[in-house]
Amino acid sequence: MKGCYNACIVKSILTYSDTSDQELYLETTIPFKKTNIKIIAATTAGALKKPNEDTFAVTSEDDILLAGIFDGTTSFPIPALGEISSARYASHFIKKQFSAVTKTLSPEKILLNINEKLWETIKKMNGVTLADTLTLPASTATVIKIDANKSLLSFAHIGDAFGIVYFEDGHSEIFTDDKNKRFDEEMFTLIRKIAKENDLTNREARQDKRVNQGLGEMYYKRNNNTEGKGSGLINGDPHLELYIQTGTIDLSGIKTILLGTDGLLPQGWEEQKEQDRQKLLEVIRTGGFEKMFKTKHESEDDDPEWNFIRYKHSDDATGILIEL
């Protein structure tokens, strides 16, 4: 499904229905401080019959542009949600709330306010408790605010998505910190060890009960750890504030901004590497997110034994590209 929406000064742009987000491509060009900026965004589920647990949202008001990507994460099923996974519920709840925020809020305040609203919504559901973070619907989030008058980008980030700025001189920089990485590496080391000891593929070793047990322990150790030694999630827990990464970036010399959830990266690509960041931009510019998703899926299918270790064969993927 593909659509294009023209906008002038509006509150929400690139809007879409949750019922049509299995694979979605949107684009627009908007006037912005005596110039135009082009925005393309897309999201896709990791499997054809699996509901998408990623979302995105973009809003524009006067000379302020807000954009965010949200990746729902695993927690226990919640009976009150019926067949909707808690991960999908969280990311789609955040998308809806983000689309209605005022331009006066900082990105950090936006995430804190949404976190409070999520708790107010879920706290009456049976089985949901702050004492057990695995009962809470949860999502990562990376949001940016572009102020055209100040030529400034401010951001707030939590989780393992990424934000990249590309400069006119050709180089790029990543401005987000993946606090999940060290926890994932511990799990990948365990999977690799089990595979080697039992003559299994990494994909087979992923199903070992020790991995599932280790994942549960990791979630408890990681998710909004009260001592600040984990990584954060929007899940209603007030300890979220310990983990929000914030910052500002002068937009002088910056040509392009890319936001992506972790599932956007093809196997073997790393957002920390300059050459891979350039490949990301080249693929999207030459073939849009359609080509990006195709490249990602081909890399997964070409690695059936999971030599590049992961938790699932194909993850949901979402991206927003802003051309200034």
Pairwise CA distance, residues 271 & 260, whole Å: 10
Q: Per-residue pLDDT averaged across 298-319, rounded?
A: 97
pLDDT value for 103: 82
pLDDT at 61: 85
High-pLDDT (> 90) share of the chain, %: 88
Which tens digits make up the pLDDT trace of 11-46?
578 899 998 899 999 999 988 877 889 999 999 999
- The whole-angstrom separation of Cα 18 and Cα 323 is 26
- Give CA–CA dist 143/108, Å, rounded: 9
pLDDT of the residue at 156: 98
Question: What is the rounded average pLDDT of the residues 297-317?
Answer: 97
Cα 178 to Cα 159: distance, rounded to the nearest angstrom: 6
- 107-122 and 86-98 helices, crossing angle to 10°: 130
75 near 88, Cβ under 8 Å?
Answer: no
The pLDDT score that the predictor gives to residue 11 is 56
Q: Which fold has domain 2-183+231-323?
A: Phosphatase 2c; domain 1 (3.60.40)
H helices of 139-247, in order, are: 181-197, 202-205, 209-222
Q: At 284, is the pLDDT very low, low, confident or very high (cuts 50, 70, 90)?
A: very high
pLDDT tens-place string over residues 212-241: 999 999 999 999 999 999 999 999 999 999
Structure tokens at 197: 């000891």
* pLDDT of res. 32: 82
**The whole model's pTM is what?**
0.94
Structure tokens, 139: 């999502």
- Report pLDDT digits (tens) over 235-251: 999 999 999 999 999 99
Confidence of residue 4 (pLDDT cuts 50, 70, 90): very low
Q: What does the alpha-carbon distance between residue 179 and residue 242 come to, in Å, rounded to a whole number?
A: 12
| CB burial readout 184-215, b (16+ within 10 A) else e | beebbebbeebbeeeebebbebbebeebeebb
**Mean pLDDT over each residue of the chain, to the nearest integer:** 93
Q: What is the mean pLDDT of residues 112-129?
A: 96
* CA distances for 227 relative to 217, 224, 236, angstroms: 16, 8, 17
CA angle 59, 241, 162 (to 5 degrees): 50
